[in-house]
């Protein structure tokens, strides 16, 4: 029995299906009703652009639609890097009038299971929100493996949440599925215990070595930055750690501040023998541990993050024992870093 037949049997009114060109205007209407104009990725509001992205495989949309063709739910996989087959789960929404009818979990499952088989996806990254545990529980049912905590990633306006109790929303970070691979991981001594825990019980073959404490004597740092202006987030991906690492990061952070960023993420390659030195430099600039992902464009990546004000720790709600342990290590590192900055 396929996913559409399951959804029809459960609800009788809504089918779960892959994206069709005629769904694009309905997805735009869905996002406007759920998010207003506040969703940070404009593609979902622009039917022609959404069709183009789906045709190219950079976005893989799945929809819940009525027999009349009305789109009442959407979820997607978004390509993380053109050189990989790793995707990020994103852009989930259900019309308010259809909530509480058991639509989103089958849509979510279809996106992860059916879509990954059809498009030969190597891995899927997830970011369940931490202002409640519903999404976290749903992710765990689909073998989600938590590997980090992105503190204050989203402003509440993006999620359409009106309560003033949540300043910004944090998200868990992790993997739903991953094809086994091999890699040598350079472990920063400072995060030896944390990374040992994050790698525990994985199906990945890794060889661990401890990286040195110095930057290279020559060679420029290389990387790229993406700024999400509406969400006030900048993401820096480091491809090579060079002798100029500190001014390189300082320049990119300054550029992102000028564009309104208040959350700064730097992704370091765990294959680099200079990652310990880079980590020490970032911590001296106020960055603290975020976690690990095994699907960066240069292999496994270490997330270091920086926030412009104290996180609202009491409103970060974590469900599993593993998530709570990760939350504790992230908060502890934030406290240590901010005590010395």
Query: Which pLDDT score is estimated for 12?
Result: 62
Buried b (16+ CB within 10 A) or exposed e, 129-150: bbbebebbebbbebebbbbbbb
Per-residue model confidence (pLDDT) at position 341: 57
Q: Tell whether 67 and 122 lie within a shared domain.
A: yes
Q: Phi, psi (5° rounding) for residue 164? A: -80, 0
Do 212 and 94 fall into the same domain? Answer: no
- Residue ranges of the chain whose pLDDT lies below 70: 1-12, 157-166, 180, 340-341
Question: 291: helix, coil or strand?
Answer: strand
End-to-end CA distance of the chain: 57
Same domain as 89, residue 154? yes
Which residue intervals of the chain are DSSP H helices?
Answer: 3-11, 24-35, 47-56, 104-109, 115-118, 134-140, 156-159, 192-199, 245-258, 275-284, 321-340
Which residue in the block uniquely carries the two structure tokens 């009106």?
Answer: 162
205 and 165 inside one domain: no
CATH number of the domain to which 331 belongs: 3.40.630.30
What sign does the CA torsion over 142, 263, 321, 200 have?
positive
DSSP string, 165-231: T-SEEEEEEEEEEE---EEEEEE-GGGHHHHHHHHTT-S-EEEEEE--SS--SS---EEEEEEETTT
CA atoms within 13 A on the CB side of 28: 13
Distance CA 80, CA 58 (A): 8
| Gap between the Cα atoms of 325 and 337, Å rounded | 19
| Reported pTM | 0.88
Tokens of 319: 């469900």
3-state secondary structure of 69: coil
- Among 178, 211, 243, the domain boundary falls at 178
From CA 175, how far away is CA 167, in angstroms rounded?
A: 26
Mark 75-112 as b/e (b = at least 16 C-beta within 10 Å): bbbbbbeeeebbbbbbbbbbbeebeebebbebbbbbbb
Please give the residue range of the domain that contains residue 157: 3-178
What would the pLDDT profile of 143-201 be if each residue is shown by its tens digit? Answer: 899 999 999 998 875 444 444 444 799 999 999 877 767 889 999 999 999 999 999 87
The residue length of the chain stands at 341
**Number of structural domains, the chain?**
2
For residues 134 and 21, state if they share a domain: yes
Q: Which two tokens stand for residue 189?
A: 């001594």
301 in the same domain as 189: yes
161 & 193 share domain: no
Q: What is the pLDDT of residues 270-284, one digit of tens each?
A: 999 999 999 999 999
Report the alpha-carbon distance of residue 173 to residue 302 in Å, rounded: 12
- Of 60, 31, 62, nearest to 44 (Cα)? 31
Provide the pLDDT for residue 149: 98
Residues 75 and 186 in one domain: no
Do 144 and 223 fall within a single domain? no
Q: From CA 62, how far away is CA 17, in angstroms rounded?
A: 6
Same domain flag for 129 and 142: yes
């Amino acid at each position: 029995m396929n996913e559409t037949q399951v959804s029809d049997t459960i609800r009788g009114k809504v089918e779960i299906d892959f994206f069709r060109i005629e769904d694009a205007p309905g997805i735009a209407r869905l996002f406007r009703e759920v998010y207003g104009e506040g969703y940070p990725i404009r593609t979902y509001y622009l039917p022609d652009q959404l069709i183009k992205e789906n045709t190219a495989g950079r976005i893989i949309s799945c929809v819940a639609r009525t027999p009349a063709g009305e789109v009442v739910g959407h979820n997607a996989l978004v390509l993380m890097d053109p050189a990989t087959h790793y995707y990020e789960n994103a852009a989930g929404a259900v019309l308010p009038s259809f909530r509480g009818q058991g639509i989103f979990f089958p849509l979510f499952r279809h996106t992860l299971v059916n879509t990954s088989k059809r498009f030969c996806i190597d891995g899927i990254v997830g970011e369940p929100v931490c202002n409640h545990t519903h999404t976290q529980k749903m992710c765990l049912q689909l073998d989600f493996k938590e590997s980090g905590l992105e503190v204050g990633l989203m402003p509440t306006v993006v999620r359409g949440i009106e309560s003033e109790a949540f300043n910004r929303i944090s998200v868990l970070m992790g993997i739903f599925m991953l094809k086994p691979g091999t890699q040598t991981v350079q472990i920063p001594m400072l995060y030896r215990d944390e990374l040992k825990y994050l790698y525990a019980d994985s199906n990945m073959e890794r060889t661990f070595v401890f990286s040195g404490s110095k930057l290279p004597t020559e060679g420029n740092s290389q990387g790229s930055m993406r700024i999400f202006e509406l969400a006030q987030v900048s993401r820096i991906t480091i491809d090579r750690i060079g002798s100029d690492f500190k001014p390189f990061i300082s320049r990119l952070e300054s550029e992102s501040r000028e564009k309104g960023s208040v959350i700064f993420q730097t992704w370091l390659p765990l294959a680099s023998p200079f990652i310990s030195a880079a980590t020490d430099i970032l911590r001296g600039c106020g960055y603290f541990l975020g976690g690990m992902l095994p699907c960066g464009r240069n292999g496994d990546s270490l997330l270091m993050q920086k926030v412009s004000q104290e996180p609202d720790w009491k409103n970060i709600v974590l469900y599993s024992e593993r998530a709570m342990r990760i939350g504790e290590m992230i908060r502890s590192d934030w406290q240590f870093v901010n005590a010395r900055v």
